[in-house]
Amino acid sequence: MLLGIGLAIPLIATILLVLFFRKQTRIIEILVLWLISLSIIFLAKSCAEKFSVSETEYWGEYGVKVEYYEEWDEWITQICTREVPCGTDANGNTTYCTETYDCSYRQYHYPRWEVVSNLKNSYDIPEKTYKQMLYTWNNEKFVDMNRDYYTIDGNKYESYWDKKDYNIFPIITTHSYENHVAHASSVYEFPEVDTSKFKLFEYPKVKDYYCQSILSEVKSSDIKWADKLLTNYNALYGVQKQVRMWLLIYKNKPYEYGVQQENYWKRGNKNEVVVCIGVTEDSLTVDWAKVFSWTERENVKVDLEDMIRNQKKLDIYKTVTNIKNEVVEKFERKSFKDFDYLDVEPSTTATILGLIFILLVVGGLTVFIIMNDITNDDESRLYNKHNRKEDRLYTFRKMYGGNKWKNK
């Protein structure tokens, strides 16, 4: 649709120029209009498709060290130049000369706190997070930075992960990638979900590098601690297995909710294993299980569903541990480059934005063609023979007597 309507815009502009502004329009301007328009149309189509297939996935890593850099300052020695009046020229105008001056200054560095991950990425963290990890790991070390300071000698303190899984510092970040399969009309097309009928889970937001791993309609302290455990597993194995594990718990909901959740999330992101469990709220009796993922190995989904159904009552810690064990052993991430061949129709929003962009560019070019001072000459104007004859007659009249030839 974007390509068809996009091509119609310069076509309409061309018709308007030829019909109503022929004197101001040259053939070369029409060619330039089409050349630029075609470039803009295909650029807009490409951007719209990329916008339409862009999805966000969650990556996990973990902190191996937290650092506290104290405030400090330094003196920056610097020589600058400036223009100053130094006389006048022969016409009395002021002349300027270049002079140097000392523009040295004090550079202040604020205190900062960072976490360094197992991937050697550094992330800023608030002071309270540093103190929390310092209390947890309990192994702060002083590091003399040997700075060439001015008046404040700031150094560094650091603390290292103690290698205990339950003391891990999970770091969750979001990243964009192209997901053609979720937006293509193909055998993988997912039905639209009536969200007014099915109250499903949305992807949670990441805050301070932390993101929930368990989304539950059942609230309890056990689920809260199990969420921390699964989040730690996502951090530990996120890089090693290129995986993100989710556990979704529904209370007093039928199996259809698991099916609709898969449709709503379009089977999840390429690195995800999503485990859906339906329970009876009072007794936490397991009613059903549904697992979806793009993994290359389907048995991980079947085995997880069987493992969960075999529980009469949901043991949340055992479930989280079993999910981790099954995924670590069997999960294999699918390469989404396998789906690059799928044709994607840009979304409505992307199409509208693309058409507005094309309309603005073509409209601007059209106005420029009409308003500029370049007009047709005798060899290139778009007039018919009758118009060219009248132009020659007008020139003859101007040369030989002006208005006395009028109407003769």
DSSP structural state of residue 177: E
Average pLDDT over residues 205-233: 93
Mean local confidence (pLDDT), 171-200: 79
Whether the per-residue pLDDT at 214 is higher than 50: the answer is yes
Predicted pLDDT of residue 392: 47
Judge whether residue 325 has pLDDT over 60.
yes
Mean pLDDT over each residue of the chain, to the nearest integer: 85
- Cβ atoms of 48 and 351 within 8 Å: the answer is yes
Average pLDDT over residues 257-282: 92
**Quick one: pLDDT band at residue 336, thresholds 50, 70, 90?**
low
Higher pLDDT, 135 or 387: 135
Q: Which domains are seen in the chain, by residue range?
A: 2-55+347-405 (no CATH), 61-166 (no CATH), 181-339 (3.10.310)
One-letter amino acid identity for 193?
V
Specify the higher pLDDT residue, 204 or 365.
204
Mean pLDDT of 7-15: 82
Q: Look at residue 388 and tell me whether its pLDDT is greater than 60.
A: no
Residue 378's pLDDT is what? Answer: 42
Q: What is the CA radius of gyration of the chain?
A: 35
Which span out of 26-35, 304-313, 344-353 was modeled with the highest average pLDDT? 304-313
The answer to whether the predicted template modeling score (pTM) of the entire model surpasses 0.85 is no
The residue that leads in pLDDT, 404 or 67, is 67
7 confidence band (pLDDT: 50, 70, 90): confident
Give the mean pLDDT of 19-24: 78
pLDDT classification of 342: cutoffs 50, 70, 90: low
The confidence score (pLDDT) of residue 284 equals: 86
pLDDT (tens digit per residue) in 359-384? 888 888 888 888 876 665 544 444 44
Candidates 262, 240, 263; CA nearest to 332 is 240
**Model confidence at 240: pLDDT above 70:** yes
- E strands, 203-312, where? 214-216, 244-251, 272-280, 285-293
d(CA 124, CA 140): 18
Query: Quick check: 287 pLDDT over 60?
Result: yes
Residue 54 has pLDDT above 80, yes or no: no
The answer on pLDDT for 405 being more than 60 is no
112 band by pLDDT with thresholds 50, 70 and 90: very high
Neighbours of 284 (CB within 10 A): 20
Predicted pLDDT at 167: 93
The answer to whether residues 258 and 278 touch, using CB atoms and an 8 Å cutoff, is yes
Predicted confidence (pLDDT) per residue in 115-134, tens digit: 999 999 999 999 999 999 99
User: What digits encode the pLDDT tens for the residues 66-94?
Assistant: 999 999 999 999 999 999 999 999 898 99
Which percentage of the chain shows pLDDT scores above 70? Answer: 83
Taking alpha carbons only, the member of 154, 171, 185 closest to residue 71 is 154
Q: Which pLDDT value is given to residue 182?
A: 61
**Dihedral angle sign, alpha carbons of residues 402, 404, 406, 408:** negative
CB-based contact 73:104 (threshold 8 Å): no
